[in-house]
Structure 1
Amino acid sequence: MTVTSVNEDFDQLSLTLAADFDAPVERVWQLWADPRKLERWWGPPSYPATVDDFDLSPGGTVSYHMTGPEGDRPHGWWRVGSVAPPTHLEFTDGFADDSGAPLSDSPRIETRVTLTRRGASGTGTHMELSSTFHSQEEMRQMSDMGMAEGIREAAEQMDRLLA
């Protein structure tokens, strides 16, 4: 299994997922950098994502929606902070209304993705996805919504795309 750990740390206000892939860093990076690939794994299998707008440059935004099993369509957005292909991405993640506008009363999660080469030949990749919350209340809200399990289920779909 790709995901090696998911750790919720309420003292540090963080959720960290670690995963290892038998694919080079550049191929794993493409799962983040290509919107058609991103939408094939971003979100748990029961809530597949559709990327509506995609600008993965510093200051750019990514907007998306997920489609639930009952037809509900929650919307989300990223505001990209920094990008250093193929190893580093930072963005703020949040919920949006149906038009894609950020909801002011929902949690904003600071997310950092780091990809590093692993293995003697350097052909594997270790991915760390760290989410930091602004308060325990926001972290508790996201935990109660099943964020840890959702991000695990989402990341576990990456192997199929790398095969």
Structure 2
Amino acid sequence: MPITETNIDPDALTLQIVADFTVPVARLWDAYTDPRQIERFWGPPEWPATFTRHDAFVGGLSKYRMTGPDGSSSAGYWQWTAVDPQRSFEVRDGFAGEDGEPKTEMPSMSMVFEFAETALGSRLTTTTSFDSLEQLEELKSMGMVEGTTAAMGQIDAVLEDLATFAHELPTASQLVGDTQVRVSRVVRGSVEQVWQAHTDPELLRRWQLGPDGWSMPVCEYGAEVGSALRTEWRDDASGEQFGFVGTVLESQPPTRLVTTERMISPADPEGADSPETTNELTLTAVSGGTLVVYLITYPSAEVREMVLQTGMVAGMEDGYARLESAVL
């Protein structure tokens, strides 16, 4: 159990938890800023969490849902208010509705996570500040201390699991809920470099080439909200063509880009008959480079399965391997 101290101060309206670890600060920081890792310990063992969004930058938002053994669920959010990389971050933590959006009428609290080096590794001090004594007592009565203690008891296993999150692993996918998939890979390069590679048409032409023998004659891309996107590929031997069109819905350079996407073909040049997806790209600095996370939302589970069976994830891995070797 990493927790070494727990203090409740009714006068200061704070709950402080101190935990010590035998890993470097960088490793502990990655565990908290990587959605694949934090969801393995944020909820108590019987209430595991799933993060559908996790922005480790000021102004960002995290969305998570904890699911109980009976199938019931409880959703929450973080609003990121301060970030000092590998030193500290501060969030506003609160309850969310079924749609994942913050429920502002419910109590929320400020949480500060402070990371420090120690002789044996690292120390994490988490200070939760409440708005009133009533709020502190209410959340305490709801089992907040016990739940946090149980959740943090899982961190050591995540920190020891170096293989699952190694930066040299290929692109991997994880089903989320009924209609989403999360695709992740650590790419060698800075967040700024990886962002540029995903939004600059000239760079995209160099690594998003599709299968061998294919070219990208059309690449209209950008990161401005409202921008129309269009990419087209062609088999130079057979002349076969396909592509995608979409629109930029949200842009927070260099960390987050949300777009729509529909598949197009010569017979359907605007994708009118193609199901539309929403693609949320998030870039996070981690040890070894930049964690690239795509959360893709499909109109149905059937469409999700159909797309995954096309070899989409393997194709993305080919592209990222080319990105590292030819662009970064």
Could you say which TM-score interval applies, normalised by the shorter chain?
Answer: over 0.9
Q: What CA distance in whole angstroms lies between the structure 1 residues aligned with 2:105 and 2:135?
A: 10
Could you tell me whether the CA contact under 8 Å between 2:90 and 2:110 is conserved in 1? Answer: yes
Matched, 1:126 2:119: no
Equivalent pairs, count? 160
Matched, 1:74 2:74: yes
2:65 aligned partner, one-letter code: H
2:97 aligned partner, one-letter code: D
Q: What CA distance in whole angstroms lies between the structure 2 residues aligned with 1:6 and 1:23?
A: 21
Q: Tell me, which stretches of 5 or more residues in structure 2 are unaligned?
A: 161-328
Secondary structure, aligned partner of 2:73: coil
Secondary structure, aligned partner of 1:15: strand
Q: Tell me, which stretches of 5 or more residues in structure 1 are unaligned?
A: none
Matched, 1:51 2:51: yes
Aligned to 1:38: 38
2:92 aligned partner, one-letter code: T
Q: TM-score, normalised by structure 2?
A: 0.48
Q: What CA distance in whole angstroms lies between the structure 2 residues aligned with 1:71 and 1:99?
A: 17
Aligned to 1:28: 28
> Which of 145, 153, 157 is the matching residue for 1:156?
153
Aligned to 2:115: 115
What is the deviation of 1:101? 1.6
Could you tell me whether the CA contact under 8 Å between 2:33 and 2:54 is conserved in 1? Answer: no
* CA offset digits 1:55-94 (Å, max 9, x no partner): 1110000001000111111100000011111121100000
Aligned to 2:62: 62
> Which of 133, 136, 139 is the matching residue for 1:136?
133
Q: What CA distance in whole angstroms lies between the structure 1 residues aligned with 2:25 and 2:115?
A: 6
Q: What CA distance in whole angstroms lies between the structure 1 residues aligned with 2:113 and 2:129?
A: 12
Q: What CA distance in whole angstroms lies between the structure 2 residues aligned with 1:34 and 1:81?
A: 18
Q: TM-score, normalised by structure 1?
A: 0.95
What is the deviation of 1:41? 0.5
Name the structure, 1 or 2, with higher relative contact order (CA <8 Å, separation 6+). Answer: 1
RMSD: 1.0
Q: What CA distance in whole angstroms lies between the structure 2 residues aligned with 1:156 and 1:6?
A: 14
Q: What CA distance in whole angstroms lies between the structure 1 residues aligned with 2:124 and 2:83?
A: 15
Aligned to 1:101: 101
* CA offset digits 1:35-57 (Å, max 9, x no partner): 00010010111111000112111
1:161 aligned partner, one-letter code: V
